[in-house]
C-alpha cells in the first residue's frame, strides 16, 4: 500500500473509492475493496501512523494514549445541564486505526433483539442472521488459544470457540487474557448468589448474564490487535491501496454547488466529485485559534464513491461543512446548503458510565493497583516482555449484563416504562420517530433484555472523586446504562476547517436515565456486599456508605452519579440509518439521502444503541460493506448523470489552485 508522505503524490491519482477516516470501519472497507485489483482506493486519515508504538501494542498500557493529542481528538462536551454544568472529556482515536488503537479491546456482540430493531426501524438486510457471516469474517479465535480446561472455562463463564458462531478465519486476533486479578471469580460467584446466571454463550445472540469476554489481544504475541494490524498492515503491499496520514478533510466537493437545494445529478441527487483536505498540523494564530491551511483536492472517478468513516462526532460535521444538513444551521454558519437533511448530527447516543470503588481488606491482594508502584511496574513489564503474560498482557474482562428485573421491583419498572412517551419524545410527531422509544420501552419491560451492564475492574477507578490510598488495594464496578433515553446532538461550530464540533450528549436529560442508574448502583453495591466478593472488601471508597445507605434518601447517590457519570466512549446515531421522514441520514444501503455516491460507514449510522460494546459490530459493519464491493450492501444503485464530472473536479482544483493558495 503506497503510504504517501506528501499531498502532491496522493492527489495525482483519481480514485474509484475515497475512504475518509482510517479507523475501525474505514480500514476494513478500504482493505476489502482493494482486493479487487481493478480499482484504486484512497484513504485519508487525519492522525499519524504509530507503527509498533508500545503505548498501542502493550494491552496493559491502555489509557496512556487518552488525552495525548497525537492519539486522541480530545473532544469535549458542552456544559451538561443535568450534570451541574460539567464538561465531559470525549476521547476518540486520532491515529491510523482510529479508536481501535486506544480503546479497551473489549470484544462483544449485541443481542438478536438489538439487531432486529434495525429491521423494525425500516432497514432490510440488517438482522442478526445478516450480521453473523461478517462477525465470522472479522474474527480469529482459535480453539487452541482459548484459555484453560473446560472446568476452568465454566468457572470463568467463558465460551468455546467452536460453538458454531465463532471463527478462526478472520483478521482480528482474539483471546482470553492470561491474568484476571483476585476478585474476578468472586465477582461472578456473588452475582450468581443474587440470582444472575452465568452465560458461556454471550456471543450467540442472547447476551444477558455473567461472562468473561474475549478481547482483541493476539494470544500469541499478547499485543493489541486493531484495525491497523489486522487490515492495514496485511494489505500494505497492495499497489492499488493508497494512504495519506496527517490529512484533515475539510469537505466533500459536490457537483453543482451553485444549486442551493442540491438538485443535481440523477434524480435530483448531489454527486461527490472529490474531497478537499488540509495537510499537516494546523498552525495557530496570534490569539491561539487554529488557522486554516492550504487546501488540496483529490478526485473521485465518474462512477466512484466517497465512503465517510469519520466516526459519530466527525462524520456529521464533515457532511455539514460540505453543505449537507439542516439549511437553517448551515446558513447560520455561512455554509451554502446543498442537501436539505436535518437529521445530520441529531439522535446522538452513548453509554453513560458511573464508576464505584471498594477498598479491599488485604493489602497483599493482587490487583492492578500494584502498577502504581514504579518498582513493581518495571518488574511486571520485564515479566511481560519475557513471557507475554501478566498484567501488561491483560485488560479487565468480567462483565454482567442485566435486565432491569434484577434491579427493580415491577412497580418501579412500570413507572420507568410510563415515563416513555414516544410522541412527546419524538417532538410531537410519533410515527417512525416514536418507534425508537417504543422499542426502548419494550426492552425495559422485557426480563430477557439487558439494560444495565456491570463491568468488573480489579483496581481503583473513581479518580473523579479523589485519589486512592498510596498502598491501597481496590476492586471497582462500573455501572453502564445500555439504552439511555436521553438523546443529544453533534454539529459543526463553524464553516472553518479544524474548528471543534459542538457535542451535546445531553446525559440524564431524561429523568428515567438517572432512576435506572441509581438502581444499577444499588444493585452493584449488593454484589459488593455478597459473598465471596464481600468477604474481600473492607469498605466502600466511592460512593460512601452514607450515599449507598438503602434507608436514606436517594438524593446523595443521585448527586454522586451527576458528579461521576462519564461517557462510555460509545457514541452512535448522528447519521442514523432510518427512513428520511423519520430523521434518517442514510438509507439501508448506507447512502446519504440526496446524494448518489456518498455513504457513511461507521457507528454514526446505528439509530438505536445496543446492549454491547460496539467494537465487534463495527468490524462486522466494515466487512459487510467491503466484502463484494460497496454496492453489495443492497441492490445496485440507480444510474446517475455523469457528464462533465471531470470538468467539475478541475473547477474545484482551480478554485483552490490545487491547494497552493
Residues labelled catalytic: 570, 613
Q: What is the dihedral of CA 214, 93, 308, 490, to 10 degrees?
A: 110
For 232, the grid coordinates are: 492495514
Which among 290, 320, 272 has a CA at the least distance from the CA of 493?
320
How many other CB atoms are there within 10 angstroms of residue 617's CB atom? 25
Write the secondary structure of 128-196 as one string of H (helix), E (strand) and C (coil): HHHHHHHHHHHEECCHHHCCCCHHHHHHCCCCCCCCCCCCCCCCEECECCCCCCCCHHHHHHHHHHCCC
Residue with cell 493489602: 363
228 annotated to bind ligand: no
For 212, the grid coordinates are: 468473561
C-alpha distances (whole Å) from 273 to each of 42, 251, 304 are 14, 11, 8
Q: Judging by DSSP bridges, how do beta strands 296-308 and 272-279 pair with one another? A: antiparallel
Q: CA 304, CA 323: separation in Å to the nearest integer? A: 20
Q: What is the dihedral of CA 554, 560, 563, 568, to 10 degrees?
A: -100
* Consecutive H or E run containing 18: strand 14-20
Which among 661, 618, 629, 627 has a CA at the least distance from the CA of 315?
618
177 annotated to bind ligand: no
Q: CA 430, CA 627: separation in Å to the nearest integer? A: 37
614 annotated to bind ligand: yes
Residue with cell 436521553: 486
585 annotated to bind ligand: no
Residues pairing with 248 in the sheet: 278
What are the phi and psi torsion angles at 350 (to 5°)?
-150, 175
> In sequence order, what are the residues at sequence separation of 6 or more whose Cβ sits closer than 8 angstroms to the Cβ of residue 377?
370, 371
Question: What secondary structure letter does DSSP report for 230?
Answer: I
Q: CA 82, CA 488: separation in Å to the nearest integer? A: 12
Binding-site annotation: residue ranges for FAD? 99, 249, 614-615
Binding-site annotation: residue ranges? 99, 249, 614-615
Amino acid at each position: 500500500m503506497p503510504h504517501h508522505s506528501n499531498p502532491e503524490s496522493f492527489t495525482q491519482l483519481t480514485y474509484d473509492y475515497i475512504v475518509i477516516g482510517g479507523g475501525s470501519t474505514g480500514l476494513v472497507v478500504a482493505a476489502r475493496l482493494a482486493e479487487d485489483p481493478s480499482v484504486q482506493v484512497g484513504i485519508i486519515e487525519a492522525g499519524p501512523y504509530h507503527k509498533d508504538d508500545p503505548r498501542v501494542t502493550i494491552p496493559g498500557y491502555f489509557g496512556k494514549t487518552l488525552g495525548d493529542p497525537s492519539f486522541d481528538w480530545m473532544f469535549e462536551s458542552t456544559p451538561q445541564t443535568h450534570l451541574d454544568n460539567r464538561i465531559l472529556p470525549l476521547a476518540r482515536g486520532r491515529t491510523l486505526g482510529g479508536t481501535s488503537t486506544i480503546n479497551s479491546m473489549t470484544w462483544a456482540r449485541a443481542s438478536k433483539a438489538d439487531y432486529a430493531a434495525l429491521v423494525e426501524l425500516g432497514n432490510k438486510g440488517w438482522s442478526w442472521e445478516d450480521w453473523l457471516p461478517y462477525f465470522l469474517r472479522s474474527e480469529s479465535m482459535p480453539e487452541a488459544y482459548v484459555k484453560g480446561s473446560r472446568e476452568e472455562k465454566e468457572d470463568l463463564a467463558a465460551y468455546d470457540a467452536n460453538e458454531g458462531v465463532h471463527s478462526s478465519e478472520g483478521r482480528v486476533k482474539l483471546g482470553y487474557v492470561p491474568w484476571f486479578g483476585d476478585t474476578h471469580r468472586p465477582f461472578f460467584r456473588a452475582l450468581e448468589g443474587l440470582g444472575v446466571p452465568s452465560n458461556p454463550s454471550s456471543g450467540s445472540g442472547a447476551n444477558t448474564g455473567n461472562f468473561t469476554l474475549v478481547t482483541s489481544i493476539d494470544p500469541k504475541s499478547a499485543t493489541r490487535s486493531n484495525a491497523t494490524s489486522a487490515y492495514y498492515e496485511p494489505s500494505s503491499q497492495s499497489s492499488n491501496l493508497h494512504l495519506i496520514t496527517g490529512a484533515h478533510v475539510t469537505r466533500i466537493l459536490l457537483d453543482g454547488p451553485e444549486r442551493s437545494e442540491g438538485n443535481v445529478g440523477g434524480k435530483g441527487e448531489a454527486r461527490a466529485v472529490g474531497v478537499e483536505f488540509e495537510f499537516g498540523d494546523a498552525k495557530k494564530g496570534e490569539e491561539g485559534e487554529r488557522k486554516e491551511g492550504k487546501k488540496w483536492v483529490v478526485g473521485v472517478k465518474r462512477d466512484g464513491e466517497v465512503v465517510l468513516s469519520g466516526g459519530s462526532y466527525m462524520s456529521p460535521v464533515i457532511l455539514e461543512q460540505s453543505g449537507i444538513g439542516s439549511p437553517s444551521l448551515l446558513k447560520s454558519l455561512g455554509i451554502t446548503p446543498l442537501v436539505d437533511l436535518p437529521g445530520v448530527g441529531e439522535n446522538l447516543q452513548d453509554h453513560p458510565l458511573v464508576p464505584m470503588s471498594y477498598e479491599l481488606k488485604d493489602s497483599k491482594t493482587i490487583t492492578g493497583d500494584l502498577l502504581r508502584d514504579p518498582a513493581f511496574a518495571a518488574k511486571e513489564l520485564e515479566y511481560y516482555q519475557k513471557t507475554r503474560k501478566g498484567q501488561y498482557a491483560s485488560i479487565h474482562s468480567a462483565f454482567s449484563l442485566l435486565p432491569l428485573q434484577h434491579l427493580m421491583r415491577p412497580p418501579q419498572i412500570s413507572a420507568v416504562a410510563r415515563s416513555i412517551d414516544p410522541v412527546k419524545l419524538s417532538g410531537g410527531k410519533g410515527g417512525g420517530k416514536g418507534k425508537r422509544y417504543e422499542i426502548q420501552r419494550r426492552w425495559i419491560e422485557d426480563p430477557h433484555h439487558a439494560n444495565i451492564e456491570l463491568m468488573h475492574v480489579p483496581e481503583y477507578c473513581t479518580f473523579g472523586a479523589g485519589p486512592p490510598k498510596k498502598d491501597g488495594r481496590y476492586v471497582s464496578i462500573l455501572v453502564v446504562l445500555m439504552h439511555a433515553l436521553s438523546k443529544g446532538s453533534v454539529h459543526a461550530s463553524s464553516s472553518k476547517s479544524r474548528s471543534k464540533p459542538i457535542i451535546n450528549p445531553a446525559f440524564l436529560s431524561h429523568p428515567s436515565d438517572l432512576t435506572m442508574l441509581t438502581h444499577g448502583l444499588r444493585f452493584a453495591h449488593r454484589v459488593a456486599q455478597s459473598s465471596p466478593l464481600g468477604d474481600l472488601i473492607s469498605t466502600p471508597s466511592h460512593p460512601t456508605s452514607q450515599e449507598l445507605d438503602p434507608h436514606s434518601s436517594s438524593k446523595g447517590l443521585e448527586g454522586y452519579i451527576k458528579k461521576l457519570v462519564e461517557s462510555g466512549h460509545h457514541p452512535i446515531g448522528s447519521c442514523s440509518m432510518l427512513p428520511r421522514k423519520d430523521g434518517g441520514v442514510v438509507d439501508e444501503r448506507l447512502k446519504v439521502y440526496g446524494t448518489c455516491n456518498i455513504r457513511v460507514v461507521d457507528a454514526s449510522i446505528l439509530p438505536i444503541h445496543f446492549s454491547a460494546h460496539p467494537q465487534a459490530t463495527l468490524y462486522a459493519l466494515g466487512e459487510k460493506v467491503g466484502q463484494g464491493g460497496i454496492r453489495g450492501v443492497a441492490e445496485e444503485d440507480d444510474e446517475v448523470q455523469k457528464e462533465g464530472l471531470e470538468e467539475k473536479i478541475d473547477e474545484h482544483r482551480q478554485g483552490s489552485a490545487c491547494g497552493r493558495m
